[in-house]
Structure 1
Amino acid sequence: MPIATRSPAAPNAPRRKPGIGGFALAVLVLVASTLLVVIAWNAARQNMLRTAQADFRSSCDEVVELLASRLVNYELTIRGGAALFASMERPTPAQWHAYVDGLDLANRFPSMVGLGYAASVGRYQLERLQIDLRDSGRGLLTVWPRGVRERYAPIVYLEPRTAENLSAMGFDMYYDPVRRAAMERAMREAAPRMTSRVKLVQDLDPRVPAFLLYVPVFAGGVAPETPLEREAALTGWVYAPIRAERFVQVALAPVKRSVRFRLFDITDGKPELVYADPVDPRAAPAAFHHVVNADAYGRRWRFEFASASLFDAVPGLAPLRTALIVGLLASLLLFGIAWSLAQTENRAQRLAAEMSAAARRSEARVQALNRGLEARVETRTRELSEANRELESFAYSVSHDLRAPLRAIEGFSRVLEDRHAQALDTTGRDYLHRVRSAASRMSELIEALLKVSRVARGDVQPEALDLSRMSADIVAELRAAESDRQVTVDIAPGLAAQADRVLVRSLLENLLGNAWKFTRDREAAHIRVGVEADGRTFYVQDNGSGFDQAYVDKLFRPFQRLHDDARFAGEGIGLATVKRIVERHGGTIRANGAPGQGAKFMFTLEEQKQGSEHYFDPK
């Protein structure tokens, strides 16, 4: 009976075109994805704008706080000068110079042109002031602008005594209405008061904005209760002329600001510009604006802040715009994908059926390959077992077949030496001794060869081992064998490993035996057994004869020796055995040394499982 099969579609069959439903679905995907992209973009944009605006306003508040803090520092400095005038009737020029010099205005308050004192005198007291100053050795004080006025406030002290400050000496600040208004308010309210924008007499350019801060000085240092009493007790004002531009630069130097601002004095209703940051006419419009009003020593200041352009103030907008473009392109891509899926629906179903059949065929091939691989592995395992048995048989045959003639050589040479030694001369007896020594050496090499072959046989039986105790037992045996030797042995406590007991015992016997043997010429022989900082690399170190590091690769080869047999006897098989034991445990071994400076052998055994301890707990 024939098996029925499903024939593939004819290659020339007409393709089915997607219907109205497929196109509608593609359009719906386009509209929905575009809408989602725009909504997400707008939400992210608004969030960035709000965050940037909050940061901008925070920066504005920080600017205002820094300027206010700087003015407080100026106030404290001026109050200190007022306290000096209140503590004595009138300090000498030297005393005033010493006080101002100690303030270090050039470095601490570079925007202050100086620190001065203006005396408050009436028309009939001016001449007495001039006489007092002349008698103190300061010369005649010339008050300017000239003219007869009811009250004068000439500058009497002004430090530091620069050329521009000396030119201001004698200036009657009561003559200027702006200065007089601030001075009178300071007197009436017994508090520091500031002027609006003024031109300092030290400045030739009237466009340089500045202001002055006054602190009144009363006789006795205490302000009376009423304004009339304060006017009678007033002796003068300690003041500081401050250039506005330098004041802003110094106050805001500690911060890196990204906002620019203009400062207006709006106390009298008409805004008067005090300071303005330079503006690049080619710069884009600011993204944000903010206005802050603040009171400053009797004046009302208005700060008009402006941020950088939109993309500079909100740097995340440029990537966001790119994300919008990418999102719209992705929407178009989704539309194309949806349309393509609608076109290829039938083809996808046909391909799915073909792929299912191909998958079943591939699965069958994989199963066949697995069966073949299992058979090959079994064959190789059987061949390896047979090779191991043949190797054991060969080693046994070699040892048996070689030992028989060696025993005959050794036996006959002994008989010859015992019975016929007198018939031989000295040379003959020496030759006979060499024959017996060579036979003994050959026997030892055969025994060593058997040891190597035995190490490679058998299964590794790992168990928890106390390497510290095992090393101590081996050292005790070495001491018993050579009780006349004095060797210092330091064994780190708690050394532990998961390994085969018999093999590791052989490993330590070889390493410690070598260390014991090669320290024989040392008066202060020293052997150390421990573990490195990684907790898994053990080492055996001695201060014996050592070896040349250039020949380190020969150490672990069978029958390779780097020392003279006359000084250090051996078969050259111990370190080869050690290397095989370490490799059977999945570890590594290396050695460092130098001639006459000892040697250090470092080895690892099978890696500890996660969470296992590297130190033996005797409990």
Structure 2
Amino acid sequence: MEIIEHTGHAESAEATHTPSPPNAIESWLTRPAAAWIILAISLALTAIAWWLSHTLSHDEAQQRFERRTDDVHRRLEQRLATYEGALRGGVALFAAQGGEVSRSQWQRYVSTLQLAERYPGIQGLGVSKLIAPPQLAAHEQAVRQEGFADYAVKPAGLRDLYTSIVYLEPFEGRNLRAFGFDMMSEATRSAAMRRAGESGQAALSGTVTLMQEDGKDVQRGFLLYVPVYRGNTVPATQEARWSALWGWVYAPFRIDDLMHGVLGAESEQMRLTLHDGDRITESSKFYGSHPSAATQAPPLSLQRPLTVAGHTWTVHYEAETTDSGFATTQSNVVAILGLCIDALLFWTIGTIARRKQQVERNALAQSTQARERTAWLDAVSDLSPNGVLVFERHDDNTFRLVFTNPAFSELFGLRPGDLTGLSEEAVDEWLDGLRGEMAPNPPLTPGDAVVQLAGPPLCILHRSSREGELHRVYYFRDVTSETEVERLKDEFLTTAAHELRTPLASVYGFSELLLRPDVPDAKREKLNQIVYRQAGVLKHLVDELLDLARLDSRGEQDFVTQEVDLRKVAETAAESSGTPENPHRIQVIGGDKPLMAKVDPAKLQQAIVNATSNAIKYSAPDAPIVLRTVLTEHEGRPFAAISVEDKGIGMSPEACERAFERFFRADPSGHILGAGLGLAILKEVITLHGGHITLTSELGVGTTITLWVPLQPEVAEATPAKPAEARAPELITS
């Protein structure tokens, strides 16, 4: 009964309910054309999504591919640079051994390199010697005497020049086939050898079939040469370099072995082919990472030049199908799912948006890294002591200046940007104008050169350069001090050798006479005296040279300082300078109060003795010498002025300027004994004591040398004397 009542109530409700009329959207959706419109919109959105997905995915694949090629390219450049470093180590071995290296020395050097573990792909490290035709027979005989009875330079025949592989380590296996081979007999090898010998730089050959190939697993190869010159230095000109060429340190490479070590896991992700030269042709190809790869054109590829040691390769990279196929697969999936449901379309767009944001974040991170790297490079450029010029290549193949660093502006007296925008020829003309009336500077061309600026002061710069595809960079390094030091060193060695040879020749010549039994006793005694006197001169010169060497190398480290009275030091020096004929010739004049200073008394006494000895040598035998000690002050500090006055021959103003140069002598005739080192030692000693020297002289009147030695701060007198020299710490000439 209850059920019947409930049912009746429901039916009554239905009977009384009136449905609401459909709204406009529902009405529109019920139309037949609405489905086509929605389909059209869906297809349009799907097409847009497919295009965006395909583009972004393809860009990502392209970026991944380019990063891989950058990595492989860099590794290949670094690997070949490492091998060049090993060759230059071999050249350094020749230099260290004075230009000749034995077979055992070369074997020990190569064994330390551990070629198999550290230099994969290299077949060995060898030495090829340049042989003139007249020397060929003697060379072959010399090598045969080392135990190689069948040795001969091959191939046989008459040629203008011969070379021979005399050393090649490891000296076993394939490398035995190359022993004695004349690489200059083959055009490709010869071109690289000549280029290395004439340029002084490493040179890479074109591709060849190596002598090491024995018919099994034959591979293409190439060779890297570094020249070795007699004299252990690289001559400045091409003609001089070829004349001084001794031979080459070289290394042969089998290309498949080398590339296997360079590519590693990358060989699974890309295909790579190497072409000899700057063009890609079938004949120029000498290596392929996938010999059996399909001939179909890859969707991702890149071609890049690689220049190593003056020789250019062209590297062609191709992506594997997994890289390029990723873009097509993903975009197709988006299209299919977009046709199925609109929700999946929106999800796909969201995915693409998120992926785009990730790409943008990656780009932003890379941009930040680039800015940081630029900041580092700017810091290096700003703090570098070397001047830098950067030229940029334009479409017309001309170079224009785009950057100079602060060091360049300082070296050449410019403001930043004064030369920016000028062509390379205009900058070259401006630089040449700084030479003044001197010979013109070398033009701005790639390579090393020496540039001189007229000054004053004269400035000598070493110029080097580097060049890439778009930029050419010049570096200017100030070598004025280095050049002057080398000049002074050469001058010093030449003069020292001359001064040593003069007494040594006398000792040697008269000693030879003393060996003769027919020399009379009276003459023998005279010869003994001459030998003894010249040996004394030689000993004195060697002692002075050793004193100078110690002062130059150790400075004041050998000083044994103590507080002493300078007047007593001067008196002792006067006694030491006296002669047996006139022991009281030197007159010592000074006050009664002590002049206390913290000095090395022995070295200061020797300095005063050098000054008095000079006065005695350049004065008449009866002329007095005055040694005067005076208390004075300079710049508020107490000083002792120790002056040596003579009435000797005196010096001209030009001689006064050079008086303290090593080996300079006021009397160029050579009648007065001495090597011209006394005043140089005197100046070094006084300078290391914190003092200085003044000199006044006049021809025919005499000379006064004053040594200014700083005293202890507490030393003072009520009214210290101030001679004229006290107000002139610099060199005074009259």
TM-score normalised over the length of structure 2: 0.42
Higher strand share: 2
RCO (CA 8 Å, sep 6+): is it higher in 1 or 2? 1
TM-score normalised over the length of structure 1: 0.49
